[in-house]
């Protein structure tokens, strides 16, 4: 491997790992704020117990997310300094807004929420919960706006060979971002919903007579959230797909292993053969006729360009060979491969959809099997519910792998209707480091993240197994407590 491959592996590993924490934090934060709202409005101690239990798990996950997220910022300077110099004037703006505005609000109100249980009035304390939870969504907005600019650069002009920001509003309202944000947030709620269902089922099947009302309410909430999230994912995913056919047609052609232009084009359900060959000569697909044309253009008869024709267009517009430049290493003067990794994009797209559908199916099954007070006694139900926790995590991960791998060989993708020259090959963005330097940081970060993964799972498992007793210390029975006494329960 050369420096480019190692730098991409490092960024990929750390990013995918970090994003395992992000959706659970965002989804749980909003749901926990909703639970606390229900407690403040009704006075039902069940909702207080739910708030404290799920809030504690959220805090563990949030802490790990902060630790792993910090590394992401440093990597732009460590391994991708050339990229940072090129895009800094535009890409840096939403990142700065995320750190100085959204994360500042998150950390401030989260601290008030954690330490304010026995010090703040109920409604003020509740406001802190909503401020924190909505700030996590705002934080995601700024990060996704930055990423969407890489996918579809807008709001800039080219000055001295570098994009200079001319409109922060254009960047923040980039249509790519406006499609990606609801899709990503829906994915976050799918993760949180599956988490609620899995943990609640575990408690209900092992401790039926202990806090049953808490676990049944959690299961119902998680199941409903999971199913609604999948419906929203389908709608927003369709919107994203149509944009991608306009903005990054090569990514979507690779997602379908569509090597030759078709009119109408069928949607590939399953492909058999050697996907590593860009001519798809040995690939046989099971397709739904004309469906891809509809998904691309809302028209069952429209043409969808294939990899072969798109490659010719890209070569004519962006060149056939990399420049002769020692910084490009082995790619210096070599032909440019405009086709993304076909097996990764094709199967990543399908795993994203497939695991997302499994998550929705698991949520629906859990609601159906536990309707009207029922609770299956089979251990397979518990195991399936616990396994279901992983499905939206896997779907989210494959979604991001597809999104980022599918835009190669560009790190900043050309905007078909944007400013000419505002694009960058991934090979041009890497820092001038040695293989040994990048390999060392890759190994160290991977080992550190592996250790953090073990710690994360240990802590979540420990506090999840502890149940309500772990967050509600023994005291006077709930019926004997005054409303203000309930605020004294501490984490």
CB-based contacts of 379: which residues, under 8 Å, 6+ apart?
A: 205
- Of 34, 57, 35, the residue nearest 46 (C-alpha): 35
As a whole number of angstroms, the distance between CA 423 and CA 163 comes to: 9
How far apart CA 288 and CA 292 sit, in angstroms, is: 8
Q: What are phi and psi of 390, to 5 degrees?
A: -75, -25
Place of tokens 């799920």: 54
Alpha helices in 207-341 (DSSP H): 212-247, 249-255, 291-297, 307-318
Please answer whether residues 486 and 45 qualify as being in contact, where contact means their C-beta atoms are separated by less than 8 angstroms. yes
CA–CA distances in Å: residue 43 to residues 8, 53, 120, 308, 479: 51, 17, 17, 64, 11
DSSP string, 156-183: EEEETTEEEES-HHHHHT-HHHHHHHHH
Would you state the pLDDT for residue 476?
43
210 by DSSP, 3-state: which? coil
pLDDT of residue 385: 87
What's the pLDDT at 472?
Answer: 74
Of residues 491, 488, 435, 452, the one with CA closest to residue 468: 491
247/241 Cα distance (integer angstroms): 10
Q: What per-residue confidence (pLDDT) applies to 77?
A: 82
Q: Which residues of 448-458 are buried (b: 16+ CB within 10 A; e: fewer)?
A: ebeeeeeebee
- The helix/strand/coil state of 288 is strand
Would the CA dihedral through 139, 143, 146, 151 be positive or negative? Answer: negative
Q: How far apart are CA 334 and CA 323, in angstroms?
A: 8
Tell me, what's the pLDDT at 480?
A: 39
What average pLDDT values come out for the chain (491 residues) when binned by 10 residues? 88 89 93 94 91 93 86 83 90 88 89 91 94 93 94 92 92 94 95 94 75 88 94 93 92 89 88 72 81 89 90 92 85 89 91 92 88 76 88 93 92 89 91 89 91 91 86 53 39 41
Overall size of the chain counted in residues:
491
Question: Two tokens at 366?
Answer: 């859990």
- Give bridge partners of residue 335 from the DSSP assignment: 321
Helices (H), 406-487: 426-429, 435-466
Integer Cα distance of 474 and 481 in angstroms: 12
Q: Which has the closest alpha carbon to 413: 115, 71, 91, 104?
A: 91
Give, in order, the Cα–Cα distances in Å from 49 to each of 72, 244, 361, 386, 465: 35, 44, 28, 21, 15
Report how far apart the first and last C-alpha atoms of the chain are (Å, whole number).
48
Global pTM value: 0.90
* Tokens describing residue 3: 């420096």
Give rounded-to-5 percent helix, strand, coil for the chain. 70, 5, 25
- Which residue in this structure is represented by tokens 């409303």? 483
Q: Are 228 and 249 in contact (CB under 8 A)?
A: no
**Close Cβ partners of 181 (under 8 Å, ≥ 6 residues apart):** 140, 141, 144, 145
> How many C-beta neighbours within 10 Å does residue 111 have?
12
CA distances from 277 to 218, 243, 273, 365, 409 (A): 48, 26, 9, 40, 17
CA distance 9 to 344: 14
Strand duo 156-159 + 284-288: pairing:
unpaired
Residue 156 and residue 90: Cα distance in Å, rounded? 7
């Amino acid at each position: 491997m050369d420096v480019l491959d190692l730098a991409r592996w490092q960024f990929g590993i750390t990013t995918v790992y970090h994003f395992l924490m992000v959706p659970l934090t965002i989804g749980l934060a909003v749901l926990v704020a909703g639970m606390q709202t229900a407690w403040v409005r009704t006075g039902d101690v069940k909702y207080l117990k739910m708030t404290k239990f799920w809030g504690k798990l959220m805090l563990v996950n949030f802490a790990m997310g902060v630790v792993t997220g910090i590394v992401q910022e440093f990597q732009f300077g460590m391994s991708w300094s050339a990229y940072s110099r090129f895009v800094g004037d535009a890409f840096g703006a939403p990142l700065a807004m995320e750190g100085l505005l959204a994360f500042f609000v998150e950390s401030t109100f989260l601290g008030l929420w954690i330490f304010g249980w026995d010090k703040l009035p109920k409604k003020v304390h509740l406001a802190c919960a909503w401020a924190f939870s909505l700030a996590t969504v705002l934080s995601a907005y700024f990060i996704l706006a930055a990423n969407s600019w890489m996918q579809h650069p807008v709001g800039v002009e080219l000055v001295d060979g570098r994009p200079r920001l001319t409109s922060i509003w254009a960047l923040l309202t980039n249509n790519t971002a406006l499609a990606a944000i609801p899709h990503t947030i829906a994915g976050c709620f799918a993760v949180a919903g599956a988490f609620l269902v899995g943990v609640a089922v575990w408690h209900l099947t092992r401790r039926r007579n202990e806090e049953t009302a808490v676990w049944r309410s959690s299961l119902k909430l998680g199941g409903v959230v999971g199913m609604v999230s999948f419906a929203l994912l389908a709608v927003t995913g369709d919107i994203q797909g149509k944009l991608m056919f306009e903005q990054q047609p090569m990514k979507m052609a690779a997602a379908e292993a569509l090597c030759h232009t078709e009119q109408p084009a069928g949607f590939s359900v399953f492909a058999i053969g050697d996907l590593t060959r860009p001519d798809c000569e040995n690939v046989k697909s099971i397709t739904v006729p004309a469906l891809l044309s509809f998904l691309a253009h809302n028209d069952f008869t429209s043409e969808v360009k294939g990899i072969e024709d798109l490659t010719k267009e890209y070569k004519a517009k962006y060149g056939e060979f990399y420049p002769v430049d020692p910084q490009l290493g082995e790619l210096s003067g070599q032909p440019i491969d405009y086709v993304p990794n076909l097996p990764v994009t094709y199967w990543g797209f399908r795993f994203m959809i497939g695991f997302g559908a499994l998550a929705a199916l698991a949520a629906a099954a859990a609601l159906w099997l536990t309707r009207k007070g029922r609770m299956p006694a089979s251990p397979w139900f518990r195991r399936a519910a616990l396994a279901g926790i992983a499905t939206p995590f896997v779907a989210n991960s494959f979604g991001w792998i597809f999104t980022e791998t599918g835009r190669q060989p560009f790190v900043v993708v050309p905007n078909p209707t944007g400013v000419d020259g505002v694009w960058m090959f991934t090979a041009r963005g890497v820092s001038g480091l040695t293989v040994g330097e990048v390999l060392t940081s890759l190994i160290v970060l991977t080992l550190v993240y592996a250790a953090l993964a073990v710690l994360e799972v240990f802590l979540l498992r420990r506090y999840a197994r502890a149940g309500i007793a772990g967050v509600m210390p023994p005291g006077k029975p709930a019926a004997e407590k005054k409303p203000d006494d309930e605020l004294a329960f501490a984490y």
